[in-house]
């Protein structure tokens, strides 16, 4: 991988500079176009509203199905965000520009992945209060926040790799979730179970194994996806 | 040619032997009755299916490392046959679950993991079908082949804990091989060999076919569509 970095360029601190440059590009683009966060927030709120329509309002029932509803909304929102992450690069030829820049493919991956992670997180930060209000569930739950941050990071690790593939395929909008959901299944199971434990009032120790599972997933797939990213984006 | 023919002969002979042993040699299970005989098809399918996905992972790493097209052809063939075997495993499992447990499906760790595995490699085949043909599809598929295989133990962990937290969803114990009589063990062993030989034969056929497909595509490209 090292031969891909420009001569005399990045080591140590400048790795961060390269990652942050890619991340900053995506944030700046989003702040000017508002093509990712705004529509996805509206979509996610609609998902919550639809869940309220179809579910029985019985409070005991809500407590058992709310974690599922929350994570269905989050994963659907995440898929939409990931679809957009590389769509803009594809439509406007941004990918060629990124590939021409003297940045290692692994650093490129971390830049794009952190961008996807932040966009998903922003959407979730807006959604969670709305969700808690509609279903009358507690909002100030640091344990739940930790689960959300870790699970979202896990979604971003594999999601970024798959989005970079799916954007170059036919039927890309449908292929991304088909690739993403089976691999992300353990995170979805773990996040929903941990959320259920939080809403049931369990202590952190009761669901720490789920948190550990998500954290392990995050670390493993951040490394694997970064190591294999050069095989995805190289032309 | 000779290797393929001898593998075909071997798997046919073993398969007939296994079938005969399943129906005429192995004793009927006391608890599960005659339905237990599907075990000799179901479990070898599961084992060989998993072996196929291990082959996909190893060849994917080999392909990304060395860039050899042959590795990719083997990975593709193994994924296709793995999905076929896993599909049959899920179907035979459901057929067995109905008489044994009274339900078609339960979310036990093995079932959950098998189903996710099936989805993973179905997605692998879709990715290959929809990606730009040639080297790009091979690279994408290799990355998914590696990510998917690493994911399997994590899925299994999640499925196991998930089940443990819902003990009332578990239906009946599965009569595993620990309870097997010696004739049953022998039948089981022959069955595994038969399905492994079948897998090896299908692999050689499919890999060769894939190689020819690529050659045809190249000729089409060079001489134009005619």
Model confidence at B20, in pLDDT bands (50, 70, 90)?
very high
- Token pair of B42, please? 């179901």
B 134-163: CB under 8 A from A: 136, 139-140, 142-144, 146-148, 150-151, 154-155, 157-159, 161-162
d(CA B18, CA B11): 10
- The pTM assigned to this predicted structure is 0.89
| The dihedral formed by the CA atoms of B30, B34, B37 and B43, expressed in degrees to the nearest 10 | -70
**Residue-level length of chain A:** 235
Would you call B159 and A175 a contact, using CB atoms and an 8 Å cutoff? Answer: no
Dist. CA A214–CA A223, nearest whole Å? 14
| B182 reaches A (C-beta below 8 A) | no
Instruction: Read off the tokens for A61.
Output: 């029932």
Neighbours of B223 (CB within 10 A): 8
Tell me the range of A43-57, A131-145, B79-93 where mean pLDDT is highest: B79-93
Residues of A in contact with B130 (CB under 8 A): 169-172, 175
Q: Tell me if A175 and B126 make a contact (CB, 8 A cut-off).
A: yes
Least confident stretch, A122-136, B14-28, B30-44, B108-122 = B30-44
Instruction: Kindly identify which residue of chain A lies nearest to residue B115, measuring between CA atoms.
Output: A182
What is the rounded average pLDDT for all residues in chain B? 88
- CATH value at residue B10: 1.20.120
pLDDT for the residue B73: 95
> Closest to B119 (Cβ–Cβ): which among A168, A182, A225?
A182
Which residues of B, range 4-63, sit inside 8 Å of A by Cβ? none
Query: pLDDT averaged over chain A?
Result: 88
B161 token code pair? 């804990």
A50-59 CB contacts, 8 Å cutoff, 24+ apart: A52/A134, A52/A135, A59/A136
> Nearest CA to CA, how far is B120 from chain A (Å)?
6
Q: Quote the pLDDT of residue A222.
A: 96
Task: Encode pLDDT of B97-142 as tens digits.
Answer: 888 888 898 888 888 999 999 999 999 999 999 999 889 999 999 9
- Interface contacts (A, B; CB < 8 Å): 86
The SS3 call for residue A141 is: coil
Degrees (nearest 5) of the Cα angle A55, A61, A62? 65
A80-87 mean pLDDT? 86
> Would the pLDDT of B64 be above 90?
yes
Comparing CB atoms, the residue among B127, B159, B165 nearest residue A165 is B127
The arithmetic mean of pLDDT across residues A179-208, rounded, is 93
Whether residue B209 has pLDDT greater than 80? yes
Q: Does A227 touch chain B (CB under 8 A)?
A: no
pLDDT of A15: 86
Residues facing B33 on adjacent strands = B29
The DSSP result for B174-219, as a single string, is: ---GGG--HHHHHHHHHHHHHHHHHHHHHHHHHHHHHHHHHHHHHH
A217 shares contact with chain B (CB less than 8 Å): yes
Positive or negative torsion for Cα A155, A160, A161, A162: positive
CA A184, CA A78: separation in Å to the nearest integer?
Answer: 11
Predicted confidence at residue B1, as pLDDT, reads 59
State pLDDT tens for residues A118-177: 999 999 999 999 999 988 888 988 999 999 999 999 999 999 999 999 999 988 889 999
Contact A232 B139 (CB under 8 A): yes
- Domain extents for chain A? 14-233
Instruction: Determine the structural domain holding residue B180 and report its residue range.
Output: 2-223
Over residues B176-193, mean pLDDT: 80
Determine what percent of chain B is predicted with pLDDT higher than 70: 92
Contact at 8 Å (CB) between B146 and B60?
yes
Q: Which residues of A touch B142 (CB under 8 A)?
A: 231
What is the pLDDT at residue B178? 52
Residue A36 has what pLDDT? 86
> Residue B63 in contact with residue B96, Cβ under 8 Å?
no
Confirm or reject contact between A185 and chain B (CB < 8 A). Answer: yes
Report d(CA A85, CA A100) in Å as an integer: 19
Q: Which two tokens stand for residue A233?
A: 């984006």
pLDDT tens profile A7-32: 445 556 788 888 998 899 889 988 88
Report the C-alpha gap between B83 and B124 in whole angstroms: 10
**Using a CB-CB distance cutoff of 8 angstroms, which residues of chain B are in contact with residue A228?**
64, 143, 146-147
Q: Compare CB distances from A231 to B139, B154, B161 and report the shortest one's residue.
A: B139
Question: What are B29's strand-pairing partners?
Answer: B33
**Residue B7, pLDDT score:** 93
Q: Per the structure, how many domains does chain B have?
A: 1
Say how far residue A116 (Cα) sits from the centre of its chain.
Answer: 6
Cβ neighbours of A161 in B, within 8 Å: 143, 147
């Amino acid at each position: 991988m090292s031969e891909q970095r420009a001569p005399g360029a990045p080591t140590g601190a400048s790795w961060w500079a390269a990652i942050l440059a890619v991340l900053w590009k995506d944030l700046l683009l989003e702040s000017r176009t508002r093509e990712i966060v705004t529509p996805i927030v509206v979509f996610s709120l609609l998902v919550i509203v639809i869940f309220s329509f179809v579910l029985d309002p019985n409070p005991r029932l809500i407590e058992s199905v709310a974690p599922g509803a929350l994570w269905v909304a989050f994963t659907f929102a995440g898929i939409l965000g990931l679809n957009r992450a590389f769509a803009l690069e594809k439509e406007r030829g941004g990918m060629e520009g990124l590939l021409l820049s003297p940045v290692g493919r692994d650093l490129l991956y971390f830049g794009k992945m952190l961008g996807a992670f932040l966009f998903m997180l922003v959407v979730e930060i807006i959604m969670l209060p709305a969700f808690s209000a509609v279903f009358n569930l507690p909002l100030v739950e640091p344990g739940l926040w930790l689960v959300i941050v870790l699970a979202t990071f896990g979604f971003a690790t594999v999601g970024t790799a798959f989005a970079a593939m799916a954007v170059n395929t036919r039927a890309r909008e449908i292929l991304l979730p088909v690739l993403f959901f089976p691999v992300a299944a353990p995170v979805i199971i773990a996040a929903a179970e941990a959320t259920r434990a939080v809403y049931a009032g369990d202590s952190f120790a009761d669901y720490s194994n789920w948190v550990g599972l998500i954290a392990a997933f995050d670390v493993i797939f951040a490394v694997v996806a970064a190591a294999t990213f050069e095989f995805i984006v190289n032309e | 040619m000779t290797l393929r023919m001898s593998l075909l002969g071997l798997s046919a002979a073993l398969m007939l032997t296994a079938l005969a042993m399943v129906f005429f040699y192995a004793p009927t299970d006391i608890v599960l009755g005659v339905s237990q005989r599907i075990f000799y098809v179901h479990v070898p399918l599961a084992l060989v299916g998993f072996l196929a996905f291990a082959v996909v992972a190893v060849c994917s790493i080999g392909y990304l490392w060395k860039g050899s097209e042959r590795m990719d052809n083997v990975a593709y063939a193994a994924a296709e046959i793995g999905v076929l075997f896993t599909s049959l495993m899920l179907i035979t499992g459901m057929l067995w679950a109905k008489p044994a447990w009274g339900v078609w499906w339960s979310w036990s760790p093995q079932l959950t993991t098998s189903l996710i595995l099936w989805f993973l490699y179905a997605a692998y085949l879709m990715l290959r079908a929809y990606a730009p043909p040639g080297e790009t599809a091979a690279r994408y598929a290799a990355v998914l082949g590696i990510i998917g295989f690493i994911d399997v133990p994590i899925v299994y962990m999640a499925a196991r804990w998930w089940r443990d937290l819902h003990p009332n969803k578990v239906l009946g114990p599965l009569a595993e091989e620990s309870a097997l009589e010696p004739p049953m063990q022998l039948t089981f062993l022959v069955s595994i060999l038969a399905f492994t030989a079948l897998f090896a034969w299908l692999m050689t056929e499919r890999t060769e076919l894939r190689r020819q497909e690529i050659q045809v595509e190249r000729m089409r490209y060079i001489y134009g569509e005619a």
